[in-house]
Amino acid sequence: MTMRPPTLIPRHLPSPSAVLSSVPSLLSLSTSCGWTHYGAAEWSFLANAGEVDGWVIDDNDGSLGVDKVDNDSGGGLLLGSILRVKYNTEVDESSTSGGHIWGLGMMLVDPKARRLGLGKALLRVAMDQCYSDDGGDHDSTILLGSATDLGRLMYEKMGYENMGGVTFLGRDANDAAPQPFESECFVKLFRCEDANFENSFNMLCDLDCQATGLDRTSTLRAALEVPGSVGALAFERNRIDTPIGAAVATPMPETGSFSIGPFVGDKMTVRTLVHSLASEVAGSGNPWPSITVKIFENKVLEGELSSLGFKVKSNVCYMTHEGKSLPRDKSRHLGLIHPTLG
């Protein structure tokens, strides 16, 4: 049976609440794409992770055998999706220099509806809106944080350039923790329920902003508000007032893992942070069997993490439209929160 091409009119999900209300449909779409590890909790986390919106393509014409889609319930059948997150490049909101950083991700197309132009239509409408929202002067930087081989050719045709690799690493959370090692810094853990949480959280946000050039306050708060999450700050032993590194570990129930990211610091600071968080997760009776990290490709840091029991699971690339560089501090090692969120 030949499928009729669907109407290629992406529908805007204009706010985090609109994305959240569509989670049942998005969950069905990701499952049909084979992404069974993306459950309702992870979709909800993305919806709540800052200034997030998105676009979907509904099966309004019955291309997949559905005569009518109830868009209001959020439970209708979707053919495709894409999410967008906005980051300010200056914490000072009064600044007018440059555009924003826009992260695009979760671009999914139902396998039965591929090769019909849906992916291109979704990406085009999201890109056009990014530039329109920033005044149409192309000062914006549009980032694809995880570009797989499946979509890379299309991205390149639409003006995206490969800016580097992203490495996914993992280890068994129940493995015996590596032996303690000498470190010139010590780590302080913190959680949302702590009395001095806001002070620790502000230090984390400051370090993250210095390393990325972005204000990711809302995204970092969303990560730490996930039940079971823990943050970490690293300090020099002789100077406990100013942190030199930071990290967050967030449980992802559907993937069966604790994800450590973001993290920032030099290689030994990152190693100490990851060691401390991995030991905390392993010793907390957590029900998730694995710990994962996602890093900008770096063989030196990869080697440091391998000494903690992490093994490379996969590699992808990150791309930006027109090859624009990201405002990050390349002297610091960076771990990603999530491929969509950077």
Q: What percent of the chain has pLDDT over 70?
A: 82
> What mean pLDDT value characterizes the chain?
84
pLDDT band at 75 (very low <50, low <70, confident <90, very high): very low
Report the distance separating Cα 8 and Cα 17, nearest Å. Answer: 24
- pLDDT range class, residue 90, cuts 50, 70, 90: low
pLDDT at residue 337 tops 70: yes
Residue 93 pLDDT exceeds 50? no
Mean pLDDT for 124-138 is 86
Per-residue model confidence (pLDDT) at position 183: 76
Residue 66 has pLDDT above 50, yes or no: no
Please enumerate in sequence order all residues whose Cβ is within 8 A of that of 299, keeping only pairs 6 or more positions apart, or say none. Answer: none
Tell me which of 88 and 24 has the higher pLDDT.
Answer: 24
User: How buried is 18 (Cβ within 10 angstroms: 0-12 exposed, 13-18 middle, 19+ buried)?
Assistant: middle
Q: Given this model, what pLDDT does residue 157 score?
A: 93
Question: How sure is the predictor about 311, in pLDDT bands with cuts at 50, 70 and 90?
Answer: very high
pLDDT at residue 176 in the model? 55
pLDDT digits (tens, 9 = 90+) for 169-209: 998 877 655 566 677 788 999 999 999 999 999 999 999 99
Instruction: Identify the pLDDT of residue 139.
Output: 74
- Does the structure show a pLDDT above 70 at 246? yes
Q: What is the pLDDT of residue 178?
A: 58
pLDDT confidence of 47, banded at 50, 70, 90? very high
Which one is predicted more confidently, 193 or 68? 193
Does residue 333 carry a pLDDT above 80?
Answer: no
